[in-house]
Every structure is written in structure tokens, then in C-alpha cells.
Amino acid sequence: MASEKRNGHRRVAIVRGLRTPFAKAGTVFANLTALDLGRMVVQELVQRSDLDPNEINQLIFGQVIPTLTAPSIAREVVLAAGLPKRIDAFTVARACATSIQSMVAGANAIALGDADVVITGGTESLSDAPIFTSRPLAHALAASSKGKSLPDKLKPFQKLKAKDLIPVPPAIAEYSTGETMGESAEKMAKENGISREEQDLIAFNSHQNAAKAWKEGRFDGEVMHVLVPPKYEQAATKDNIVREDTSLEALSKLKPVFDRRYGSVTAGNASPLTDGAAALILMSEEKAKALGYEPLGFLRSHAFAATDPGDQLLQGPAYAAPVALKRAGMKLSDIDLVEMHEAFAAQVASNLQALASKEFAKKAGFNAPVGEVDRSRLNVTGGSISIGHPFGATGARIITQALNELKRRNKNTVLCTVCAAGGLGAAVILERA
């Protein structure tokens, strides 16, 4: 697209992208918060890009598991990163598609002329997930804080039962169905006829592709090094989940997790709990030219969709992708690469099956199926199973990774999709020219 506007709106450029290494929860970033990780990646991105902070109009950041002491994570990132305090900021959440949402929100502001330069992204620390108290204990603590004497402060606790003292972890199940994501992925595998062999092959390819990308230096420019505080003696330089030495035989020996007797979803063909952060710099095409930046690519279209979480919870991409393609005026045959978030291999296989299915297209109200995705163009530098999945950061990771790979291959278009809790799905189409 040669013009700087589409449908009367300004064209939005993705100028730069950066992420921290993604680390398995409880490992190298165990003592860091989501704010720590978000601050680090934004500071480094601004410095590497040689961007004058005074040019930034807005920062939009997301987090899925909130930090209770810093719930407005976007504003806190601005302040902690030492950016000008006048920068407007707000926080978004769309489960695993959170940093897709932050990118789209920033792009909309630019397209409409409300901003010229926006930083977007997301951060997550599953090592620092909040632990809640029971409702009775919370009420007792609140009442105790109002007591004027020691007996007054102790009195509210006298009515508590032993069970009221048990900590309450964050919910890992869908509120509406009571099913965990893993249980839903297991159900999808059974209902869609996804074999254990296919799931393990998807996981194997993810690790092989990511390991090759690291070995060939493809991630060197998009993954920063983190000197881990407080002693700064340990450096995180790579994702620590990628397994170059994994094999189909090793994956096949892992036991199912969610249905131990008849299941096929294992720890090996699912994404692990992960810590990490990722960020993007967005600009209007005119602003990027004025500041001398060569964009990584441009946002051509986007779509969000939703389906019944009690049916196929993680099938959102199959509903969103056709809409994004239609809005872009494109077909799957026009797309050079496909990036699909790997929450579970069963979810990837189910969405690929749905995109090619006439029956699914009819059920979803589409005129025709999207088509068969060429597996050799899918997640060519690895996905969330091997790289990891910090919920709020995955979308920005995928966008940066996809655009850099397009440049290396001298290709032009990529379709990125993400499934999310609640039966949600996101899709964006990015182009280089």
C-alpha cells in the first residue's frame, strides 16, 4: 500500500519491538515483579531506538494477573522507567491477547490522529501471582484495622474458622464453566479428533524452530539481556524453556495432565507458566518518516471475536482470522507467514482444522473456509510451547518476531492469531510494504 492513509485513517507503523528473555516461572526472574520487567523492557526499547522520550504521546500496557500493589501497570511503567510524567497511560487486559489489545488501542489512537507516537505491550510475572485471603478473613482484617485497643483489634478474628485462614490462589478456571484451560484443551482434542501424535509433533517443531532461531542469531536483536537485581551477578540472555535436545520419543513418554486415563494434553505439548515482558513502538507513517525511522511493518487489519467458552474455549482465532482477512481485502493465499499462539498443541491443531473446514465455516456464518495453512509457514521461529507464555506479553512477542522474520525472508505479509480465556480470539494482519 503506497498511500499513507487507509479508509481516511492514518497508516500505523510498528517501528521497533523488544522483549526480555522469557523464563519459566520460579526460575531466573522469580524475585522480580511484573513492574520490574515492564520497566526494564520499556527503558531498553526507548534507549535502543534512540527515541526522544518527549516524542512519546501515550503508553498502553497490559497485565493479566494483576499486581495488587500496582494495579495501574501502564502508568507505573511510565513513572518507573523515568519517562516524562506528562505521558498519558492506561492499562488493558484481554487475557492472553492482552498485548494485541494494547497494540490495537495504540494503533487506533494514531489512525484517528489522537497520537503520533505510542508505546504498547505487556508484562507478566507468574512467579509473583497474588495470593488472596478468604472473604471472612478479609472482613476480619478490615474490622481489626479500625480497633483502637488490642482487644478491639483481636475481637474480629474470634469468629473465624480454620478454613478461613487458608490462602486463596488466583483462579485458574473459567468463571462461567468451572473448567481450566487445560481441561478445555483436552476436550477440544477429543471432540476434534486431535491425536496425541499430532500434538507432540507441533510441540517438537516449536522447540526445533525456536532452538534453530536462537542458534542462528535471529532473536539477538529482539531479546534484551537482563542483569538480574538485586545483586546483578546473574544475566538472563536467552529464553530458558527452549529444548534443543527434545525428541518425539521423549515427548511421547510424558503422562497426560488433565485426563490422566484417557487424555493427550501433557506438560510437553502445552505452554508453561512464564515470566517476561515485551513492548512495541508505534508511530504514524508520517511521524516515522519525519524522525528517520524505517518501520518493521504496518498494521493492515485486525479483528477480535468471541465464542461460547463452554463449547470450544480456545477456538477464537478461527472466528477472528476470517474477519481480519476480509477487512484487509485478502485471502489466506495472499499471506506469507502465519503466527499462531501455542497455548496448547491441541488448540493449534483444532484452529487449523477449523480454518480449513467447510462445516465450521457454515456453523460460524462465513461464506467459505479460510483454507489449509501450510505448516512450513507456521510459527517458523518457534511459539509459546517452546519460548514461553507470559500472558500479557505474548502478543507483542509474536508481532516483533513475525515482522523480523518477514524482513529476513524478504516476504511481505503475516497473519498473527491469539486465543484467550473466555472464548476470546484475536487476529492481526501485518505488512512490510
Which residues are tagged catalytic? 96, 389, 419
What is the DSSP secondary-structure string of 318-348?
Answer: HHHHHHHHHHHT--GGG-SEEEE--SBHHHH
Q: Please give the grid coordinates belonging to residue 35.
A: 513492574
**What 3-state DSSP class applies to 123?**
strand
Contact (Cβ atoms closer than 8 angstroms) between residue 199 and residue 264? yes
C-alpha–C-alpha distance, residues 226 and 400, integer Å:
18
- Dist CA 420 CA 67 (whole Å): 20
- The answer for residues whose C-beta is within 8 angstroms of residue 184's C-beta and 6 or more apart is 174, 177, 309, 312, 313, 314
Provide the residue count of the chain. Answer: 433
Residue with cell 495501574: 72
Angstrom distance (rounded) from CA 346 to CA 307: 17
Please name which of 189, 145, 187, 139 lies closest in space to residue 159, comparing C-alpha atoms. Answer: 139
CA 131/CA 216 separation, integer angstroms = 41
Task: Report angle CA 384, 386, 388 to the nearest 5 degrees.
Answer: 50
CA triple 347-323-402, angle to 5 deg: 60
Angle at 273 between CA 267 and CA 275, to 5 degrees: 145
